[in-house]
Structure 1
Amino acid sequence: MKKHRSLNVISGPLLFLVVLLVLAPIIEFKQAAAIATIFWMGLWWVLRPVNIAVTSLLPIPLNAIFGMVPMEGIISKYFSEIVVLLVGSDLISLVWEKTHLDKRLAIKSLCGLGTSMREQICVWLVASTLLSIFLPNVVVVMILLPVAVSMLRFLGQQQITDNPVATPILLAIVWGAGFGGFGSPLGSSSNLVAISYLEKLTGHEFMYVDWLIRFLPLLFIIMLLIMAYLLHLPLPVKRLDGGKEYFRAAYDKLGPMSRGEKLGLWLFILATGLAFVRPLYVQYLPLMKPAYVFFTFGMLTFMLRNETGQLLLTWREAEKGIMWGMIFLFSGGLALGQLITKTGAATQIAKVITLLPLSGGWETMFSLTLFATFLTEISSNTAAASISIPVVQSISQQLGLNPIPYILTSIVAVNCAFILPVSTRAVGVTYGLNPDDLLKNGLKLSIICMLLVSALGCICMHCWSLFNHL
């Protein structure tokens, strides 16, 4: 096992050197080094010989050695404006965890759950999807999966793995939490990566309300597709008696909302509300972007006190609780994107793909969707967005096309991963979801979803003006 791990560690730099030696005689050395960095990071993100957050730090030493772009362009990505947003929203989320507000909201949303298996599947899917619009998807599955497993065991389903009753419910949670993130900019760090590229492309700020207008209809359609797929899985029983009573009893045990819970909820509501109504006050507070709104309200968690007089959050709790790994993963993706774009590597990759017979129609949309989906299946959606979006932009521009509809479709694609037990799906496996069931069903759904996303992208591009400009 130790020898196997050592080989995985060595495989990254070896692949880097091989790619660099192959490409250096063909393209500029800095471009070759940037593409080789993609291969090294991609391989380590798949094999995981080190934590994925450690892999995300590779652009710093590699750029220091090979001098691909100015160093300040790389370092600045590790505390960019959007990282400030992640820290601020994370602080508020920590208050939700500390006060158990997250569990209260999850159980409350399930109190109306009926006894029908079909209703169970639909409600779990909708709940996980809606929660992941505003909360990190890993947080959502960590909230819902224990509740779901407890409910199933309470109802007599002691064996979770290979249980045809439990499998569709667990799939509904991990899939819903995974794809639901593209419903708002806050739902996934890959969305924030996309926004940074879109703002560079257009030269102006991309308002959060504009994101909702464009993506919520697509989210609803894809949710219906996943729901239809889950409902067509073989179900051994039609009803699970007692589900509604279980959730009502669990909610009653929580008691009334505490002052800490209320403050945590209001901090989130106010921060989110101000982020989405920014067009109303942008002329008065031009620098108060959503990142700084959330950071400001996040700082209030260190000042406000709960019902016992204790601070909502202490710095020690923040140090332990903030998802530094996610932040480094996000930052590393941005740094990798900086290497790809500033060296011209994205243009070189685009030139290769443009050798395919692409005319800008459905075949182009499907090819780019396939590219983005493949990347997000083998890595993370943040890493996939960092690699795919600049490449998609370069390809569409080289074909003389408006890049915006292709980028928007790619954003949907990098949030639609259903096959491998990584990210939110890995959490599902730890709670009893069989990886074979995930692979078998996820592969079918992924193929169907790629076709649907490509078709939706084409339809929106031709029939919806908002999908062609920002």
Structure 2
Amino acid sequence: MNDARNEPVEGTEAQASQDSVFDRRRRLIGAVSGPVCALLVWFTPIEALSPEAHKLLAIMTLVCLWWICEPVPIPVTSLVGPTLCVLLDVVKMKEAFAAFANPTIFLFMGGFIIAKGMMVNGIDKRIAYGIMSMKWVGDNPRRIFLAIGLACMLCSGWISNTATAAMMFPIAIGLLDAIKDMMATKGKIINLATYKYATGLMLMTAYACSIGGVFTPIGTPPNIIMLGFLNEMCDIHIGFFQWMVWGFVAMVIYFVIAYLILSRMFPADVKHIEGANEFIGTKIKELGKWTRAQKNTMFAFLVAVVLWVTPGFLNIAFGSDSEILKVYNRVLPEGAVAMVGALLLFFLPVDLKHNKMTITWKQAVGGVEWGTLLLFGGGLAMGGMMYTTGLSGWIGEQIVNGMGGKPSELLLVAVFCVMSLLLSELTSHTAATNMIGPLAIGAALSAGFSPVPVAVGVALSASLGFMLPVSTPPNAIVYASGYVPITKMIKSGVYIDFIGIICVTIPVALFIVKMVMGIL
């Protein structure tokens, strides 16, 4: 007999073929429409804009369309924008590319290297299997469902969402195989491709990875991008600890919503999964005892985390104007702390005789998502130039006027949250944040509001891409299993997306952020 898992593969390949046709058409449309629309903007008189802002608007039109349609790789487009700005005399070379050396870039780079160290040395698996092996989990399918989600969520707060999904995917598959084997011994043959619980477990694996990313600034690119825009455009610095406070609130409530919806839509039809404990126990035994490399990695990680959160506690203890806090932030900014944690991995020895350290340069280079760093730098560059040329202010005024001239802060935040969500469903959430971020901040400033709530709202909304396989890599990973019908992903994703925005994103952006900013 053929394995049931092989049955959906043909459908998956057919879907992939259709997606490739769609992608080719999308790229072709973008390759043509991008330059055409940019030229139309270039030759359209806009008296309210300075010549530099007008040129930048044309360049931004090209960049945004290419970010969405991807006729060339997204990181390449991120370099096209600043380069055109220099060639067309919008700004000087130094100003155009200064954002690529922004300290936030090094915060992200250090985070990537620490995360890679955790992956290559097996810390991520120890965390995941440790959660799965807790006594309260046992072989209860509902608790296993919850434990898989918790493991994905907690890991993805510090490790790439994609890497977390790739790590947890085979664990979920193994548990589903245990269910299938158990049912077979009872004379019941199930097809995992149509089994409700299998669909739910796959979706929980994907969604929890995206939800966990909102916890820390380095959890997912939209967080760090919006913090960069606030710093670049408004000279507002949001600390690591500050973000973690409202990120934790959002993460927990998002997770509860996802768990309740998925567990009701895709319930288990058994009370116990025979073989689940043995499966997890075998995996833990395979890990063996803690190695020197794992201990070193955990030490470096904890050093970084402690140094990141210390300013928050100093703020609470001594106040925001205290000299000790100012000195600390000057000597140990977040970017430098990230590099301290990353560099420790190269200095903590595993085997001095053979000059073996905790991580190799080759491993570290492979862990850094250079394309994401380029996209981030390009987005910061374009956003900074939009601010200095006055373009973001002009666009913000048009948006505010379109809302009646004096919109409420609630309406402003809600509009940009929905825009960010919808665009993130159709293209890279990193590119979507780069496009929406400067507009949202510009509109908030034009309306006389603090830009922090809308910036946080945009970042959180960009992480809620749950409806389509193309929305996030975790979605694509579980969809490729063949256990997730596209209609089920869309239906569950719609529920979680819009309940999340209404019940979590907007309240967190408007109320929790202001409360935390007031306290800290």
Q: TM-score, normalised by structure 2?
A: 0.81
Structure 2 residue aligned with 1:446, among 494, 497, 506? Answer: 497
Contact 1:149 1:160 in 2 (8 A): no
Cα deviation for residue 266 of structure 1 reads 0.9
Cα deviation for residue 250 of structure 1 reads 0.8
Cα deviation for residue 120 of structure 1 reads 2.6
Cα deviation for residue 159 of structure 1 reads 5.5
Distance in 1, Cα, partners of 2:93 & 2:39: 21
Distance in 2, Cα, partners of 1:3 & 1:176: 31
User: Which shows bigger deviation, 136-145 or 441-450?
Assistant: 441-450
Q: Which position in structure 2 is the counterpart of 1:212?
A: 244
Matches within 5 A, 1:83-162: 83-112=105-134, 113-156=137-180, 160-162=192-194
Structure 1 residue aligned with 2:95, among 73, 78, 102? Answer: 73
Matches within 5 A, 1:404-419: 404-419=452-467
Contact 1:404 1:468 in 2 (8 A): no
Structure 1 residue aligned with 2:347, among 303, 327, 330? Answer: 303
Distance 1:241 1:23, change over 3 A: farther
Letter in 2 for 1:270: V
Distance 1:115 1:417, change over 3 A: same
Superposed CA deviations along residues 193-214 of structure 1, whole A, max 9, x for unmatched, are 2222334566464322222223
Distance in 2, Cα, partners of 1:451 & 1:318: 40
Contact 1:109 1:127 in 2 (8 A): yes
Distance 1:340 1:260, change over 3 A: same
Structure 2 residue aligned with 1:356, among 403, 412, 415? Answer: 403
Structure 1 residue aligned with 2:417, among 358, 366, 369? Answer: 369
Distance 1:161 1:348, change over 3 A: farther
Letter in 2 for 1:344: G
Distance in 2, Cα, partners of 1:78 & 1:120: 43
- The secondary structure found in structure 2 opposite 1:306 is strand
Q: Which position in structure 1 is the counterpart of 2:184?
A: none
Distance in 2, Cα, partners of 1:405 & 1:293: 26
Q: Which position in structure 2 is the counterpart of 1:229?
A: 261
Distance in 2, Cα, partners of 1:258 & 1:226: 36
Query: Does residue 1:437 correspond to 2:488, yes or no?
Result: yes
Cα deviation for residue 186 of structure 1 reads 2.0
User: Which shows bigger deviation, 267-276 or 212-221?
Assistant: 212-221
Matches within 5 A, 1:314-353: 314-353=360-399
Superposed CA deviations along residues 128-169 of structure 1, whole A, max 9, x for unmatched, are 222222222122112111221232224327855444222111
Cα deviation for residue 291 of structure 1 reads 0.8
Structure 1 residue aligned with 2:307, among 261, 264, 274? Answer: 274
Cα deviation for residue 296 of structure 1 reads 2.2
Contact 1:73 1:338 in 2 (8 A): no
Distance 1:3 1:303, change over 3 A: closer
Superposed CA deviations along residues 171-204 of structure 1, whole A, max 9, x for unmatched, are 1121111132121112122222222233456646
What is the RMSD computed on CA atoms of the aligned residues? 2.9
User: Which shows bigger deviation, 259-268 or 350-359?
Assistant: 350-359
Cα deviation for residue 230 of structure 1 reads 1.0
Gaps of 5+ in 1: none
Superposed CA deviations along residues 18-64 of structure 1, whole A, max 9, x for unmatched, are 34344657744433443344443333333333332222222232212
Superposed CA deviations along residues 295-325 of structure 1, whole A, max 9, x for unmatched, are 1231232233225842222223333332212
Q: Which position in structure 2 is the counterpart of 1:293?
A: 337
Distance in 2, Cα, partners of 1:272 & 1:458: 24
Distance in 1, Cα, partners of 2:90 & 2:211: 34
- The secondary structure found in structure 1 opposite 2:431 is helix
Query: Does residue 1:243 correspond to 2:276, yes or no?
Result: yes
User: Which shows bigger deviation, 156-165 or 221-230?
Assistant: 156-165
Q: Which position in structure 2 is the counterpart of 1:50?
A: 72
Distance in 2, Cα, partners of 1:295 & 1:316: 17
Cα deviation for residue 352 of structure 1 reads 2.3
Distance 1:284 1:456, change over 3 A: closer
Contact 2:142 2:268 in 1 (8 A): no
Superposed CA deviations along residues 192-243 of structure 1, whole A, max 9, x for unmatched, are 2222233456646432222222332232222211122112204352443332
Letter in 1 for 2:421: T
Distance in 1, Cα, partners of 2:254 & 2:168: 21
Contact 1:271 1:293 in 2 (8 A): yes
Gaps of 5+ in 2: 1-20, 182-189, 315-323
Distance in 2, Cα, partners of 1:345 & 1:117: 54
Distance 1:118 1:182, change over 3 A: same
- The secondary structure found in structure 1 opposite 2:196 is coil
Structure 2 residue aligned with 1:196, among 206, 224, 228? Answer: 228
Q: Which position in structure 2 is the counterpart of 1:396?
A: 444
Cα deviation for residue 410 of structure 1 reads 2.8
Distance in 2, Cα, partners of 1:149 & 1:12: 42
Distance in 2, Cα, partners of 1:389 & 1:288: 27
Structure 1 residue aligned with 2:477, among 427, 435, 441? Answer: 427
Distance 1:335 1:115, change over 3 A: same
User: Which shows bigger deviation, 448-457 or 182-191?
Assistant: 448-457
Cα deviation for residue 96 of structure 1 reads 1.9
Letter in 1 for 2:503: L
Superposed CA deviations along residues 252-311 of structure 1, whole A, max 9, x for unmatched, are 111111101111111111111111113646444523212111212312322332258422
User: Which shows bigger deviation, 149-158 or 137-146?
Assistant: 149-158
Distance in 2, Cα, partners of 1:407 & 1:212: 15
Distance 1:198 1:61, change over 3 A: closer
Distance 1:241 1:402, change over 3 A: same
Distance 1:352 1:190, change over 3 A: same
Q: TM-score, normalised by structure 1?
A: 0.89
Identity of aligned residues (%): 21
Contact 2:117 2:364 in 1 (8 A): no
Distance in 1, Cα, partners of 2:95 & 2:431: 18
Distance in 1, Cα, partners of 2:446 & 2:164: 40
Letter in 1 for 2:172: A
